[in-house]
Amino acid sequence: MKIPVCRLADLPRGEAYRLEIDPPVSVFHTDDGEVFAIDDTCTHQDASLADGWLEGCEVECPLHASKFDLRTGSVDSPPAKLPVRTHQVVVEDGMIYVEPSQAVPNLPPCVGARLAGGLA
């Protein structure tokens, strides 16, 4: 399944776009012109990585500064302990598409509980 995100021209370098699917995905356009997609929700707690700080191929979470590698989703800096999923990105005719990963997402505990309708 290929989901259209936005036009590449509408996503300047250094910016991020949050794709409101469930769970949300953030798409980053790096300063070097590459485009990456990862799960938007930090694996630590409930924060949107599209709101984070993009530097090179790394995004810093806006809440507690965990850093994730956009290429692999791995944690470069704690407190997060689990990686985010990465998603395939294709750019066709100037349009960015994301192919959502089929892997199980590493949602943070409080968000996982809320989505499952439990606990809270």
Partner 1 sequence: MRTVAVVGASLAGLSAARSLRRQGFDGRLVIVGDEIHRPYDRPPLSKEFLAGTMAEADLALEADGEDLAAEWLLGVRATGLDRNERLVRLADGTAVRADGFVIATGAAARTLPGSEGLAGVHTLRTLDDALALRADLARGGRLVVIGGGFIGAEVASTAYALGLDVTVVEVAPTPLAGPLGEAMGGVVSSLHADHGVRLLCGVAVAGLSGESGRVDAVLLADGRSLPADTVVVGVGARPNVEWLEGSGIALENGVTCGADGRTSLAAVVAVGDCANWYDPLAGAHRRVEHWTGALERPASAVAALLSGGAAEPGPVRPPYFWSDQYGVRIQFAGHAAVADSVTVEEGAADDRSFLAVYRRAGEPVAVLGMDQPRLFMRWRKQLAQPAASTASVAPAAVRS
Q: Which residues make up the interface to ligand FES (CB under 6 A)?
A: 42, 44-45, 47, 61, 63-64, 66, 79-80
For partner 1, which stretch binds (CB under 8 A), given 5-13, 27-35, 41-49, 99-107?
A: 41-49
Least separation in angstroms between residue 77's CB and ligand FES is 9
Residues 6+ apart with CB under 8 A from 26: 16, 17, 18, 19, 37, 38, 39, 40, 48, 49, 50, 59
Alpha carbon of 37 to those of 45, 69, 91, 101: distances in Å?
A: 19, 11, 12, 10
Our finding on whether 67 is near partner 1 (CB under 8 A) is no
Residues 6+ apart with CB under 8 A from 52: 16, 59, 60, 61, 62
Pick one of 23, 62, 72, 74: the residue that binds partner 1 (CB under 8 A).
62
Q: What is the dihedral of CA 9, 99, 23, 39, to 10 degrees?
A: -70
Q: Would you give the binding string for partner 1 spanning residues 73-112, x where CB under 8 A is met?
A: -----xx-x---------------------------xx--
Pick one of 64, 67, 83, 89: the residue that binds partner 1 (CB under 8 A).
64
Nearer to partner 1, 53 or 97 (CB): 53
